[in-house]
Amino acid sequence: MHDVSLRSGLQTPAWRNAVAAACLAVAVLLAPACVWAGQLQPLHVLQFTLSSDTATPTLERRFHLIVMVRVTQHITSLRNLILPNFSGLEILGDEQRLIARPDGTLYREVITVVSHQTGSIHIDPAYLDAFDTQNGKPMRFLSNALTLQIGGGALMPVRLGGMARTLRRAALLLLTLTFWGVVALVCIVVALRLAVERSRSRGNQVVAAAPAPVAPSPAPLTPAQSVGQALSILRAQPDRLGALRARALLWEALGVDAGATLSDVLRSSRVVDSRLRRALFSLERASFTHDGDLTVAVSAALADLECAYV
């Protein structure tokens, strides 16, 4: 009777629902780990080190930190490598290289740094998240930690370096502001003294200086005069630049802006002569035609200007 009751219990809907709920809970708990493992790079790490290219780094002199990872796979990139926090060091740049070897790949990263304080600096290990192909599990590989002794100059604890650097910068800024404040005060005093002396010298003068004569502004050119000048310009310089200069002269004489188009000029009330219109068309062609047509266009513009000038 006991065995029968067990078999009937497995067949009840309530038992099946409980089993389904338990399976769903396990799947939800394992899903993030499975997704995380699927995003990891499959690697077998043989070497993972963090080192310095000098055993005696010196204050204010750059040196290099070197991260090396050797794996058995042939890869074109190394993902999920996280460098430690280089507290107390200023990073000036880094260089990454992947070197193919018969037994796999060597990743080498060189980080250029400089220390602005003396004393001991501790650097935590770098780490690499990967799917270990040897044991078939996601793993976090750690490099070694590194402790540096920065020498040179007066000893200064690293934890006080930032505050000391800030105080030095504040003192330098204060000295700079004080210097330029003194310079500005001297300039103001000199300017006031010169102004007082000039006012005294003007008060002692008996005869006031006569105002300088103002030269009369030249009379504007008539269209006929502007055509004659444009013709002279194009005769002296029968090329594209001469055509552009003659065109600009006529534009100005007709009272239009330099950026106006030929259509704007032709709509001007001053362009009433058909010969002047033809000369304007010829100058437009000579100014903007292609090189093969330039000689013919300049000759036509000269002929039309001579006709308009008569």
Domain ranges within the chain, ordered by starting residue: 11-39, 42-160, 223-309
**What pLDDT, on a 0 to 100 scale, did the predictor assign at position 4?**
32
52 SS3 class:
strand
Report d(CA 227, CA 280) in Å as an integer: 10
**Dihedral of the alpha carbons of 74, 79, 81, 82, in degrees to the nearest 10:** 170
| Both structure tokens of 67 | 């991260």
| Both structure tokens of 94 | 């880094």
**What pLDDT, on a 0 to 100 scale, did the predictor assign at position 119?**
92
Pick out the chain residues at pLDDT < 50: 1-12, 15, 28, 31-32, 34-35, 155, 158-159, 206
**Neighbour tally for 169: CB within 10 Å:** 10
Cβ pair 32, 7 in contact under 8 A: no
| Both structure tokens of 165 | 């650097």
Q: Where are the alpha helices (DSSP H) in the chain?
A: 2-10, 13-39, 161-203, 223-236, 240-253, 262-266, 274-288, 294-309
pLDDT tens by residue, 200-223: 777 665 455 556 666 555 556 666
Report the chain's terminal Cα–Cα distance, integer Å: 134
HSE-CB for 152 with a 13 A CA cutoff: 12
pLDDT tens by residue, 74-105: 999 999 999 999 988 999 999 999 999 999 99
Report d(CA 68, CA 143) in Å as an integer: 9
CATH number of 42-160: 2.60.40.10
